[in-house]
Amino acid sequence: MAEVLNDIIKPENQIYGKSEVLTDNVLHYCPGCSHGVVHKLIAEVIEEMGIQEQTIGVAPVGCSVLAYNYLEIDWQEAAHGRAPALATAIKRLRPDRFVFSYQGDGDLAAIGTAETIHACNRGENIVMVFINNGIYGMTGGQMAPTTLEGMKAATCPYGRDVSRDGHPIKITELLAQLPGTGYVTRQAVHTPAAVRKTKKALRKAFENQKLNKGTQLIEVVSTCSSGWKLTPVQANKWMEENMFAFYPLGDLKDE
């Protein structure tokens, strides 16, 4: 068998590997974190479009605050929630560049709601990647605006009570109503098929940016195995059973 393996493992037979746009740094994320998959997909899309030199990313605050360590492109680090505002400035000053913001739910749907809504309403020509895991992962799993009803978190150990904490917010549906947004979709990265779909969505968003089609929003429903206190595989199952019921996958708007 070893000889057969040696025959197969040759550079010319390679069909899948690490993207050239990704750096060699080891990701600091927990095992099984969806951030890693989305980073990889963005890197692959940038590589396939050949826009590594023309892309500027805006890193958020949250677990992905160190995203600039992992993709070999130009980056800016925004204050908490202000990534769309910073991306607006970059895109207006350098309209020839591909600009994307990469944000979590605490960043995009909580502290940065105003920036997010107004950037989308103005129809800024940027791509916004929104990682929604329903929790504040970096600070220790506190309740976020996107936490599901009844879902346990560090600050709601008996589950989210809507009479006290309000209802979870579907920010993507809200943003889809604004005339400034072009392509709004919700995807996930829990299975190989879902990963392929998400990559297609990201590719489309970057292509649309070239065509000046307004704000492109890609929500990725994600897991936080550490915050949810589950193994990565259990977290994916939990997400399929609970998150997808409230955050159904699919395109919300395509103009």
Q: What is the DSSP letter of 125?
A: S
Nearer to other proteins, 52 or 121 (CB): 52
Nearer to other proteins, 96 or 241 (CB): 241
- Cα 30 → chain centroid: 16
Nearer to other proteins, 94 or 196 (CB): 196
26 is a contact residue toward other proteins (CB under 8 A): yes
Nearer to other proteins, 27 or 156 (CB): 27
User: d(Cα 242, Cα 239) in Å, to the nearest integer?
Assistant: 5
Beta bridge partners of 230: none
Nearer to other proteins, 114 or 233 (CB): 233
37 is a contact residue toward other proteins (CB under 8 A): yes
User: d(Cα 204, Cα 75) in Å, to the nearest integer?
Assistant: 21
Binding mask 5-24 for other proteins (x = CB under 8 A): x-xxxx--xxxxxxx--x--
Buried b (16+ CB within 10 A) or exposed e, 217-234: bbbbbbbbbbbbebeeee
**Residue 96, phi then psi, degrees to nearest 5:** -80, -10
48 is a contact residue toward other proteins (CB under 8 A): no
Among 161, 233, 248, 251, contact with other proteins (rule: CB under 8 A): 233
* Residue type at 130 in one-letter notation: F
Q: What is the DSSP letter of 233?
A: H
- Cα 219 → chain centroid: 6
# of chain residues touching other proteins (CB under 8 A): 38
Among 35, 82, 170, 213, contact with other proteins (rule: CB under 8 A): 35
User: d(Cα 251, Cα 240) in Å, to the nearest integer?
Assistant: 18
Binding mask 191-230 for other proteins (x = CB under 8 A): xx--xx----------------------------x-----
Q: Which residues bind other proteins (CB under 8 A)?
A: 1, 4-5, 7-10, 13-19, 22, 26-27, 29-37, 40, 189-192, 195-196, 225, 231-233, 236
